[in-house]
Amino acid sequence: MTLAIDVRDLSKRFGTLEAVNHIAIQIEQGHITGFLGPNGSGKTTTLRMLCGLLTPDSGEGQVLGLDFPREAEAIKRQTGYMTQHFSLYDDLTIEENLTFIARVYSLDHVRRRVTDTLQKLGLAERRKQLAGQLSGGWKQRLALAAAVMHEPKLLLLDEPTAGVDPQARRDFWAEIHQFAEDGMTVLVSTHYMDEAERCHEIAYIFNGELIARGTAGDVIKQSRLVTFEAQGPRADRLAGDIADRPGVEMVAPFGAALHVSGTDRTSLEAAIEPFRHEPWHWTEVPASLEDVFIQLMRENGGQKAQMAA
């Protein structure tokens, strides 16, 4: 196994805020890793440290075979970074934006590189269109083109599909998997659970700490979360009657159905037993990734509150 990222003890503090708290990250070359966590959990700070845009308070290891963070400038030259918000020039065309980026990176054969990138990302027919006139999906595609034009070995994406339509998201992920197939390593932060499931593995960060890691299936299995689904007339209305019963850790309506979850099977079954009659029908269903992440957030949030107390 060749590791593209092998960093330990990575941390960053802003005043009294511990944005990233001594985490370790290992990512295999050519893998897509989904970086998940609530807003303010430290995802963006971690990405910016890994690509050399932010100096860590501590941390050591290797990124792309280079010493981290001592060789930050060399790492930066081999990394593509796509920010959460569109950061190219609205008053330049697609082609002009890419030409500018090529010159920033001091790339050779600028015209050829820009043309090749336009073709590869499906932007050739829109090359003369102003970036400010593009829809969210096309802006996203342009930003991705700018991030990969210098042929980086590592691609860092910060919530790249926020605000774009489902088809644009699907097309975007097809491109990402093609890059990974060609050997590029990708670390992408996202709030979309369906996108997390498209990754080879996921890492969940909360309050600056890495609290879960593995494939989506591994993380779900490790949670030990048991979920029952109630279906029937107004099953979702049972939430108020069930939520506070012993053994119930989460209650979530899914359309007209209701999901009830907990880690203690015996207590959970006792909690729903009074409601296991007509007109409702109960079945055990697999826990979703969303269920697991909400559970992780609540568990670790509770630990933080107890520690603060």
177-190 pLDDT, tens digit per residue, is: 999 999 999 999 99
The 10s digit of each residue's pLDDT in 219-259 is 999 999 999 999 999 999 999 999 999 999 999 998 889 99
Closest listed residue to residue 176, CA positions, set 121, 234, 113: 121
Rounded Cα–Cα distance for residues 207 and 146 (Å):
31
Tell me if 128 sits within 8 A of 156, measured CB to CB.
Answer: no
Which carries the bigger pLDDT value, residue 167 or residue 100?
A: 100
What is the arithmetic mean of pLDDT over 92-96? 97
Does 303 score more than 80 pLDDT?
Answer: no
Tell me if 247 sits within 8 A of 267, measured CB to CB.
Answer: yes
Rounded Cα–Cα distance for residues 64 and 13 (Å):
25
Q: Which CATH number fits domain 220-308: 2.40.50, 3.90.550, 3.40.50, 3.30.70?
A: 3.30.70
Sheet containing 209-214, strands listed edge to edge, beginning at the edge strand earlier in sequence = 79-82, 154-158, 185-189, 32-36, 201-206, 209-214
In which residue are the tokens 């009294």 written? 16
Closest listed residue to residue 53, CA positions, set 108, 93, 12: 12
Q: So what's the pLDDT on residue 301?
A: 67
pTM to 2 decimal places: 0.88
Quick one: tokens of 27?
Answer: 């990512």
Helix (H, G, I), strand (E, B) or coil at 306: helix
pLDDT-derived band at 302 (thresholds 50, 70, 90) equals very low
Handedness of CA 261, 262, 265, 271 (dihedral sign): negative
In which residue are the tokens 């963006």 written? 44
Q: So what's the pLDDT on residue 308?
A: 28
What is the arithmetic mean of pLDDT over 8-28? 96
CA geometry: angle 87, 90, 107, nearest 5 deg: 65
